[in-house]
Homo-oligomer: A and B are copies of this chain.
Amino acid sequence: MDVPVVNGSISGQPHVFGTKGRRDDQEIPLSWDNDCQEFKGAYAPSGSGGPDEGSRETVAEVTLRDVALASGCSVATVSRVLAGTRPVGAETVRTVRAAAERLGYRPNHVARALRSRTTGTVGLVLPQITNPFFPSLVRELEHALHAEGRAVLLADCDDDPVTEAARIGAFLGRQVDALLLIPVDERRSREAVAAAAAQVPLVLLDRGCGPGVADSVAVDNAAGMALVLDHLAATGRRRPCFVGAAGTASAAVERRAAYEAGAAALDPTAPGRVELGDFSVAWGRAAADRVWPSRPDAVICANDLIAAGALQRLRQLGADVPGEVAVTGFDDIPLAGLADPALTTVRQPVGELAAEAARLLSRRPAAADPASRHTVRLAPQLVVRGSSVPVDAAADATAGG
């Protein structure tokens, strides 16, 4: 459909450069001052006279050299004052600071990066930003990283290992200081990840990528699954079944293994009742159809998407949730709280994951030594909602590790 764009150009012709009176909280307009009568002869063509009526369009950047000139000392000194790399006389510090502020000096990160060989930038590479679990993780990572003054370069791989490798390469070419990576595939991502890890600090997030490849931080899937099983057992469920995902992704494998281990305690035949598909709502719906005939009293899903699909389909099939059957998810994505009834699930400690990842990244020592790889597992939290216990009893219990 090529419905034409309603391409209207907002008019706004009358007021062009107004707004001169009420700009009191504005910072100093970096351009001219009587001290530095000699500015940017180089490429500032509009050295036209006049008191600069505020056309701050392409004002040439103020450089260290300008500040040096204005404060009567050398570039080196100015750098030292501003970067604090070496003690400088109190008096000098004062003049330099003043000049810098007066001129509105802003350091050029690119030049700094070139010289100091560190860009203050980390690349964040993830499979699909549209996976509903990722946004909150991205958010926390962004906050954690920005808090230490680093900027985040984002890449979305479209769930494709080839794209992933390309993005990693692009980031490396841009000399990121480090990489944060949620691998697309445990196996097919390995090669590119290992290669990248040899060049910059790299932390794997949420999913693993084979042993010894890189540092990694993730939720303790086994503990999470145990929380779910304990809760279900405590509320009298005896015939659980598991709806998970096939494949080698660590989350899929670990959650399934943990279910099988834990469910055996509940019911010796339970570990057999396992259906595997993928991490999607559609699979959740399909799995419900396959599972419901055997009348389980708990459907434990490997993530919230599956759970949402299963829940929806179960109700369509006439099942009473949670009366007849409980449904649980994993991750606590926003959707979980919105389902009807709201999903009991395992909340990932997103903030801590981000903090831990940031911490690992900052570790200076050359972590090229495979022996020093760290794998951090963080404790999740059970969030009990209506899908596993009747509403009146669902007091949103939270149980930590």
Contacting residue for A106 out of B9, B138, B173, B338, CB 8 A:
B173
Contacting residue for A338 out of B155, B335, B371, B374, CB 8 A:
B335
A283 to chain B, nearest CB (A): 13
Given the known interface contacts A45-B195, A129-B142, the answer about A11 and B151 at a Cβ–Cβ threshold of 8 Å is no
A58 interface hit (Cβ, 8 Å): yes
Are A154 and B156 interface neighbours, CB within 8 A? no
Chain A stretch 127-159: residues in CB contact (< 8 A) with chain B:
128-130, 132, 134-136, 138-139, 142-143, 146, 151-156, 158
A78 interface hit (Cβ, 8 Å): no
Given the known interface contacts A57-B198, A110-B175, A156-B142, the answer about A373 and B10 at a Cβ–Cβ threshold of 8 Å is yes
Residue of B nearest to A1 (CB): B381
Chain A stretch 374-390: residues in CB contact (< 8 A) with chain B:
374-379, 381
Please, which residues of chain B bring their CB within 8 A of the CB of A371? 12-13, 16
A234 interface hit (Cβ, 8 Å): no
Given the known interface contacts A108-B175, A375-B8, the answer about A169 and B44 at a Cβ–Cβ threshold of 8 Å is yes
A233 interface hit (Cβ, 8 Å): no
Please, which residues of chain B bring their CB within 8 A of the CB of A114? 108, 110-111, 114
Give the interface size bracket for A toward B.
35 or more
A308 interface hit (Cβ, 8 Å): yes
Label chain A's interface by main secondary structure: mixed
* Distance, CA A146 to CA B377, complexed state (A): 33
Please, which residues of chain B bring their CB within 8 A of the CB of A128? 139
A7 interface hit (Cβ, 8 Å): yes
Are B377 and A56 interface neighbours, CB within 8 A? no
A40 interface hit (Cβ, 8 Å): yes
Please, which residues of chain B bring their CB within 8 A of the CB of A156? 138-139, 142-143
Please, which residues of chain B bring their CB within 8 A of the CB of A13? 370-371
Are B107 and A173 interface neighbours, CB within 8 A? yes
Are B198 and A8 interface neighbours, CB within 8 A? no
Given the known interface contacts A110-B119, A368-B58, the answer about A155 and B142 at a Cβ–Cβ threshold of 8 Å is yes
Are A44 and B109 interface neighbours, CB within 8 A? no
Are A10 and B375 interface neighbours, CB within 8 A? yes
A75 interface hit (Cβ, 8 Å): no
A281 interface hit (Cβ, 8 Å): yes
Residue of B nearest to A59 (CB): B199
Please, which residues of chain B bring their CB within 8 A of the CB of A340? 312, 315, 340
Are A40 and B169 interface neighbours, CB within 8 A? yes
* Distance, CA A36 to CA B15, complexed state (A): 45
* Distance, CA A36 to CA B172, complexed state (A): 11
A180 to chain B, nearest CB (A): 12
A28 interface hit (Cβ, 8 Å): no
A167 interface hit (Cβ, 8 Å): yes
A208 to chain B, nearest CB (A): 9
Q: A152, A198, A334 — which one has the most chain B CB atoms within 10 A of its CB?
A: A198
A212 interface hit (Cβ, 8 Å): yes
A101 interface hit (Cβ, 8 Å): no
Instruction: Encode contact with B along A77-91: 1 for CB under 8 Å, 0 otherwise.
Output: 000000000000000
> Can you report 5 residue pairs joining A to B where beta carbons are below 8 Å apart?
A1-B381, A13-B371, A36-B173, A44-B195, A45-B195
- Of all A-B residue pairs in the complex, the 4 with the closest CB atoms, nearest first, are A12-B212, A3-B379, A154-B154, A45-B191
Which A residues have a C-beta under 8 Å from some C-beta of B? 1, 3-13, 15-16, 36, 40, 43-46, 48, 55-58, 106-111, 113-114, 119-121, 124, 128-130, 132, 134-136, 138-139, 142-143, 146, 151-156, 158, 165, 167-175, 191-192, 194-196, 198-199, 211-212, 216, 220, 223, 281, 308, 312, 315, 334-335, 338, 340, 356, 366, 368, 370-371, 373-379, 381
